[in-house]
Amino acid sequence: MYGTVARYRLKPGMEERLLDFEREIREVKLPGLVAEFTVRLDEDPNVYYEVVVFESREAYRAVAESSEQDARYRELRTLLEGPPEWHDGNVVHLVR
């Protein structure tokens, strides 16, 4: 399995829009997606971490490099104060 951990700062007042955005992505049913979750930090409720896991690096790259994902990323960026930090890598442990 392969995936990414993203850290980003949401613009104030955009949490409901973020939840709508994530709901829309779930409906797309990205090919190869195994798991996805988002965490809002207690110490700063505008900071989020998101973890996305795919069946393989190839599945991850196929989605990440698609024009549809680029459009989704551009929409996400309108909700954020700046660009997300991305940390890609192999998933070494996953409990379902």
Domain boundaries, the chain: 2-90
Paired residues of 47 in beta bridges? 9
95 has a pLDDT exceeding 90: no
pLDDT per position as a tens digit, 35-85: 999 999 999 999 999 999 999 999 999 999 999 999 999 999 999 999 999
The CATH number of domain 2-90, selected from 3.40.50.2300, 3.40.47.40, 3.30.70.100, 3.20.20.70: 3.30.70.100
**Sheet hosting strand 47-54, strand order edge to edge:** 33-40, 47-54, 2-9, 85-90
pLDDT of residue 96: 79
- Split at pLDDT 50, 70, 90, the class of 23 is very high
Using DSSP's 3-state secondary structure scheme, residue 76 falls into helix
Using pLDDT thresholds of 50, 70 and 90, give the confidence band for residue 11. very high
